[in-house]
Amino acid sequence: MTPLPADPSRPLLEVRGLRTVFHTLAGAYPAVDGVDLSIARGEVVGLVGESGSGKSVTGFSLMRLVDPPGEIVAGEVLFEGRDLLSLPESEMRAIRGDRIAMIFQDPLMTLNPVLTIGEQMIEAVTEHHGVGERAARARAVEALGQVGIASAAERLRQYPHEFSGGMRQRVAIATAMLNEPDLIIADEPTTALDVTIQGQILHEMQTLCEASGTALLWITHDLGVVAELADRICVMYSGRIVETGSADAVLDAPRHPYTAGLLGSVPSVNAPGTRLHQIDGAAPPLSARPTGCPFRTRCGNVLPVCAEIDPPLVGPVPGRGWRCHNPMPERDAA
Amino acid sequence: MTLFILRRAIQSVFVLLAVSIVVFFAVYAIGDPVELLVSPDTSAAEREVMIRRLGLDLPIWRQYLVFLGNLAQGDLGTSFVHGVPAVELILQRLPATLELVVLSLVIAVSIGLPLGMIAGLAPETRTARTIMTGSIFGYSLPAFWQGMMLIFVFAVFLNWAPAAGRGDTVSLLGIEVSFLTADGWSHLILPAINLALPNLALVLRLAASGTAEARLQDYVKYARAKGVRRGRIVRRHILRNILVPVVTVIGVEFGSLIAYSTITETVFAWPGMGKLLIDSVYQLDRPVVVAYVMIATFIFVSVNLLVDLAYAVLDPRVELEKGAS
């Protein structure tokens, strides 16, 4: 497959009206309910939300890795102008791991326990490029070196259980970088790690992506992580993006009450000594979404209209928007 | 590794001792072989000589000690009926049984494993349901009935293969084998299928449940996210993960097939160890029965050790030194 020439005016990835449902005995429930998203070349986008907000399903939908009972039912995922959702599976496979790579949440579960690290890295190269095992191994050694794994050649002969959690996630990052992809989708890659390792991994990812011009979609529930990393932020709630904008705008002057609530609950973002806020209740289950605005049952700014009409995305400029009838007061972005 | 094997060898000696006590006293309890060995019209004096010669005049515990003493010198006793060492009698029959057992395991694995994986990869399909339903017959129908049906259909009705015996054999390294002659194959195939069916079903179901579980694991999804082709995911990522239970079953079944191929060998008049055991039990040929059980136990223990060693090869997380305790 010949990659199309990069067009700087067009985003690398553009998602329009993505809808992924889960079929149950009681009917089809939307986990992703009309998501629009765009990522430019080299851009770092944070996709933030609570558990059950649909952020992971969004990530898997972009890779077309949603397994039954889940199904992508509508939308477009334009990658360099081509709609991934209408590609034949063989062409989609050729893109996975080569042009778009993915890093999973739990490094203990994602590496195959009975195959060597080397085999699992080398196959990521040889399944895409007609290079010999020796060249692929050399590439793997180089990639492991980039993520700070010493004596990489010996490490390739080892099995996943001989690596710590943080080391395994570094292996996953190195594997993602093997083919120098255009985009890496990272699904909570630091959640399962302890805090010091989290910081190191964040830093490594940032450096690597900057150096190679790789765009990054960082899926997380942790606004603190996103604050350090992202150029732009999309906040997801109940299967939709409820607020989007540059990282500075969203973090300094959130307009959606949900974003404001999330920010109030992050220790690292709030001044020491202030009381942390918590959002009442829990995200509604897929089967019991309220009418109108899905957040209204937990919202402090609720108006009668919220039960009637699902708020559309509004905003002052393209790329900045929120879905709320009664947004938080405007503040100057610092 | 060496330590592990050594420790297991010592454990095995105790297992063999325990088995020898149980089987020796159990066989003693079955009946008095003298009644069968000596014709009714022999004189009482001759009878006495006979009993003394076979060592049956001693109390049972003395007989056992004599047996142990001989065992220490590698002698498992002499057949009452045939007058030759029991071990020799059994080892003569071993190749026939081994041939049957190995072929049946090859059939069970080469058919059961792929069919099971096909069923496990798409459990909701009609193909999968057909395979799984079919496998129920494999292990729920009694072996002797399956054997008779095979004879009825393929030997009597279709006349494709002979119903009994071993056919032509050729000598391979001094051992008579059937699988190198066409006639031998035709004799081998029906009993081998008969012996294979329950294990085929077992391997199939293990492979199916293992595959159904493995295909949902994160490492499979991750391999897909890396763009690995489906064929490679199945052959490397899934197959490698389901091999441990399959190898366990093959190992355990190898031992028990050798020991208990008696039914198949009886139905097909296959001159193997199993048939020898049945004949010896009828004739109360104590030394042969005891020796048979001892050899079967030894094979069992050895195969189990090999299976444990295979674990370490198949699953890098297995540590033999710790696993031995």
All structural domains of chain B, each given as residue ranges with its CATH number in brackets, are 94-283+298-323 (1.10.3720.10)
Helical H segments across A102-214, by residue range: 107-110, 117-126, 133-146, 152-155, 165-177, 195-212
- Flag whether pLDDT at B317 surpasses 70: yes
- Flag whether pLDDT at A2 surpasses 60: no
Beta strand A240-246 with A232-237: parallel, antiparallel or unpaired? antiparallel
Sheet with A232-237: list strands edge to edge.
A100-103, A183-187, A215-220, A44-48, A232-237, A240-246, A321-322
Q: Which pLDDT does position B274 carry in this prediction?
A: 85
Mean pLDDT on A136-156: 88
Taking the C-alpha atoms of residue B157 and residue A118, their distance in angstroms, rounded to an integer, is 56
Question: Does A119 lie at the interface with B, CB-CB under 8 angstroms?
Answer: yes
Q: Which pLDDT does position A62 carry in this prediction?
A: 92
- Flag whether pLDDT at A82 surpasses 70: yes
Percent of chain B with pLDDT over 70: 95
Q: In 3D, which of A255, A294, A297 has the Cα closest to residue A279?
A: A297
Which residues are A187's β-sheet partners?
Answer: A219
B189-200 per-position pLDDT tens digit: 888 888 888 889
Cβ-based contacts of A184 with chain B (< 8 Å):
none
B29-39 per-position pLDDT tens digit: 777 777 777 77
| Chain B nearest-CA residue for A158 | B316
Q: Which pLDDT does position B55 carry in this prediction?
A: 75
Mean pLDDT on B161-166: 74
* A-to-B residue pairs, Cβ atoms closer than 8 angstroms: 81
Mean pLDDT on A73-91: 90
Of the pLDDT bands very low, low, confident and very high (cuts 50, 70, 90), residue B204 is very high
Give the type of residue at A230: A
- Flag whether pLDDT at A124 surpasses 70: yes
Of the pLDDT bands very low, low, confident and very high (cuts 50, 70, 90), residue A295 is confident
- Flag whether pLDDT at A330 surpasses 90: no
Question: Does A161 lie at the interface with B, CB-CB under 8 angstroms?
Answer: yes
Mean pLDDT on B219-238: 92
Contact A104, A162 (CB under 8 A): no
Query: For residue B134, is it left (φ>0), alpha (ψ between -120 and 50) or beta?
Result: alpha
Q: Where are the domains positioned within chain A?
A: 13-99+183-280, 108-178
Percent of chain A with pLDDT over 70: 93
- Flag whether pLDDT at B99 surpasses 80: yes
Q: In 3D, which of A311, A290, A301, A303 has the Cα closest to residue A257?
A: A301
Which residues are A218's β-sheet partners?
Answer: A46, A186
The CATH fold assigned to A13-99+183-280 is: Rossmann fold (3.40.50)
Considering A1-5, A245-249, B2-6, the range whose residues carry the highest mean pLDDT is: A245-249
Taking the C-alpha atoms of residue A122 and residue A117, their distance in angstroms, rounded to an integer, is 8
Percent of chain A with pLDDT over 90: 23
Mean pLDDT on B206-231: 91
Average pLDDT across chain B, whole number: 83
Cβ-based contacts of B226 with chain A (< 8 Å):
96-97, 101, 123-124, 127, 175
Do the Cβ atoms of B236 and A115 come within 8 Å?
Answer: yes
Mean pLDDT on B171-192: 76
Q: Which pLDDT does position A93 carry in this prediction?
A: 92
- Flag whether pLDDT at B223 surpasses 90: yes
- Comparing A1-15, A117-131, B12-26, B265-279, which segment has the lowest mean pLDDT? A1-15
Contact A242, A306 (CB under 8 A): no
Do the Cβ atoms of B226 and A97 come within 8 Å?
Answer: yes
Do the Cβ atoms of B227 and A159 come within 8 Å?
Answer: no
Do the Cβ atoms of B227 and A112 come within 8 Å?
Answer: no
> Does ipTM top 0.95?
no
Q: Which pLDDT does position B59 carry in this prediction?
A: 80
Q: Which pLDDT does position A6 carry in this prediction?
A: 55
Question: Does A101 lie at the interface with B, CB-CB under 8 angstroms?
Answer: yes
- Flag whether pLDDT at B319 surpasses 50: yes
- Flag whether pLDDT at A273 surpasses 90: no
Percent of chain B with pLDDT over 90: 16
| Chain A nearest-CA residue for B235 | A115
This prediction has a pTM of 0.79
Which residues are A19's β-sheet partners?
Answer: A33, A74
